[in-house]
Structure 1
Amino acid sequence: MSVLQPEVNITAGLQYQGSQEKALVGVLCTGTSCSFLYINSVLLFTLRSKPVFCETSRYILLYNLLFADTAHMVTNVLLFLLAALKIIIAYIPCCVLVLLSGFTDIISPLTLAVMSVERYVAVCHPLRHSAIFTTRSTGTAIALVWAYNFIYILVQVFMLLYVLTKIYIDLHLYDFCSKEAIFSAPIFTKFQQTYHVTVFFAASVTIMVSYIGVAIVAKSASTDRASARKALQTLLLHLIQLSLILTSTFFTTIIAAYATVGRLTLIRVYNVCFVCLNILPRCLSALIYGIKDQNIRPVFMKYLFCQGRSSVILNKK
């Protein structure tokens, strides 16, 4: 009895330490995600607070980018909470959540490509910018982006239905809801890799061509160099953001590489990758434009710290 007692105490201590660590990491990840969601929500509200933001193509595209990023963050945070709280849901609701997450996943790279073209036209063809990027044409471009991604999700749904007719899949999940639990067949991995490579290659080429075009025009004497320099910085930030979003597509590969190292280590890697790869790239737009853009910054800061609400309350008093 005296020999077994220390081993029992050590095991219990390790389990308690593991539970404490998981609780602390869960709170930190959830708190960080909620903070980023708040920042994105404030900027979304800011972009609907003034008519200039609703009528300018640049800000309309930014709103679409933020809306897709925020929706993607919400579904990912919900999936994370289900896993952290060890809540097992049925196969069908899990499919809906995973498909919603995938539906908003590729909106950002495509929108970044359109935003890069808009900046190129604004600097290289300033006289034609207002005619090319009207409110209507910008809305059409956004509709095409969403329609393209809807086709991607529709193809996945048909593939999933086909797999369900060929392979028996238990509709009662025994582990937490995730993309890996739903799209476990190799055909999904190949299709998603092909689609992601195509989208990110097209978006990368578009941004780089826009950057080179603006860089060439910026050297001419007739160009507003301050405007061209800002456009170059914006395009470079778009490329960095696109690279981070591309890195997030390797989330499954990274988790699979650590699948054999132990569940506790796997959970640690999953938490770090969740914040760094799934959440951080989706809040960069709010951080970049909320601070960098001279028109957005004062309004964004006012709403971020609730100054607008407090001033309204003081006026009522």
Structure 2
Amino acid sequence: MSFASRSQNNITVGFQYRGVLELVLFSAPITVPCCVFLFINGTMLFTLRSKSVFRETSRYILLYNLLFADTVQMALAQLMYLLSVSRIWMTYPVCGVLAMLTELTNDISPLTLGLMSLERYVAVCYPLRHATIITIRNTGVAIIAVWAFSSLNVLTRVILLSEFPFEELESLQMKDFCSDIAMFLGPMSDHYDKAYACFLFLSAGVTITCSFIGVMIAARSASTDKASAHKTRNTLLLHLVQLGLSLLSTINDPLIIAISKILDRVSILRIQSILYVCIILLPRCLNALIYGIRDQTIRPILMYHLCCRLKLPRLGSQPR
């Protein structure tokens, strides 16, 4: 009996070790890059608050808002991913809070991209009035309006959750991992989510496209700075690409629901991890890299902070 007990304990420990090893090997290729990009985003946010030129310029304030929302979104998404791969089931209220915070920050990106496009449009088409229209105060009011609009969407989702008969549940403990899909507890929530996503991205897309067309028309004018118009045109094209990448996140849930009907659970989890990296993680990592490398004002200061304030020969002298 003693030998049998020891053998059974060895087998149990072996399975537990295998489970932990598989968990580490499965989550490490995703968690490590995410931590690296969180560090880059955090450094970028610190950079945008380190100099008065960034704190007092509207387009850098809007960029800070965009990166802040992306960083919080990425951190929340990674937390929910680690909880799911660790097979930690939460209660519906806790999952609801995480899902709503994720939804709140997810809406900020397309709305902020629309504001950034309008700011560039005014800078090119109305250069003499840019300083009076795009002020620090107006920028702050616009950012508050963006967060208020996103919060209203979250409040509407919370109200729609009231249609689900929670009192009929044996327990508030979830029987699956926490995700946005798990909080679609009624058909009305699903219909509202689709309608809101279409409205959000259509509005942002129309705003960026109209700004792009306005800049192209202004570029043909003899009184317009050609170099500035050309640079703004490329920036607006970049905003369209960023909006397209953000739009990919809206197809994540429908894809998972579709494949869940034809594949087993293990295959679903693997595909979900791939979609998480390509659709959720990468688009939010690119913003900091694109602006950090592309902007001549941000680049030297960002590299200085990324290198832990070391004075490297290749970076030149320390930024003042």
Give the TM-score, by structure 2 length. Answer: 0.88
1:168 & 1:91 partners in 2: Cα distance? Answer: 11
Q: Which amino acid aligns with 1:275?
A: V
Q: 1:222-301 to 2 correspondence within 5 Å?
A: 222-259=223-260, 260-301=262-303
Q: Which residue in the other structure is 1:110 paired with? A: 111
Contact 1:72 1:105 in 2 (8 A): yes
Change (3 A) 1:309 1:101: farther
SS at match of 2:164: helix
State the shift of 1:35 in Å: 1.4
1:200 & 1:166 partners in 2: Cα distance? Answer: 36
Q: Which residue in the other structure is 1:141 paired with? A: 142
SS at match of 1:261: coil
Q: Which residue in the other structure is 1:129 paired with? A: 130
Q: Which amino acid aligns with 2:87?
A: K
> Which is worse superposed, 269-278 or 19-28?
19-28
SS at match of 1:249: helix
State the shift of 1:226 in Å: 1.5
Contact 2:121 2:214 in 1 (8 A): yes
Contact 1:42 1:304 in 2 (8 A): yes
Contact 1:33 1:275 in 2 (8 A): no
Gaps of 5+ in 2: 1-16, 313-320
State the shift of 1:56 in Å: 0.3
> Which is worse superposed, 275-284 or 139-148?
275-284
Percentage of identical aligned residues: 49
2:233 & 2:223 partners in 1: Cα distance? Answer: 17
2:37 & 2:242 partners in 1: Cα distance? Answer: 16
Could you report, residue by residue, the CA deviation over 1:283-302 in whole angstroms, capped at 9, with x for unpaired residues? 22201110000110110111
Change (3 A) 1:90 1:258: same
State the shift of 1:167 in Å: 6.2
Q: Which residue in the other structure is 2:162 paired with? A: 161
Change (3 A) 1:100 1:309: farther
For CA contacts below 8 A with separation 6 or more, give which structure has more relative contact order: 1
Contact 2:47 2:298 in 1 (8 A): yes
Q: Which amino acid aligns with 1:72?
A: Q
Contact 1:33 1:77 in 2 (8 A): yes
Give the TM-score, by structure 1 length. Answer: 0.89
1:93 & 1:107 partners in 2: Cα distance? Answer: 22
RMSD over aligned Cα atoms: 2.3
Q: Which amino acid aligns with 2:290?
A: I
Change (3 A) 1:165 1:264: closer
Gaps of 5+ in 1: 1-15, 311-317
State the shift of 1:220 in Å: 2.3
> Which is worse superposed, 214-223 or 237-246?
214-223
1:127 & 1:158 partners in 2: Cα distance? Answer: 46
Contact 2:163 2:186 in 1 (8 A): no
2:170 & 2:134 partners in 1: Cα distance? Answer: 48
> Which is worse superposed, 101-110 or 24-33?
24-33
1:127 & 1:166 partners in 2: Cα distance? Answer: 61
Change (3 A) 1:129 1:264: same
How many residue pairs get matched? 298
Q: 1:167-178 to 2 correspondence within 5 Å?
A: 168=169, 170-178=171-179
State the shift of 1:168 in Å: 4.5
Q: 1:1-317 to 2 correspondence within 5 Å?
A: 23-164=24-165, 168=169, 170-259=171-260, 260-307=262-309
State the shift of 1:216 in Å: 1.4
1:105 & 1:52 partners in 2: Cα distance? Answer: 28
Contact 1:25 1:271 in 2 (8 A): no
2:253 & 2:185 partners in 1: Cα distance? Answer: 11
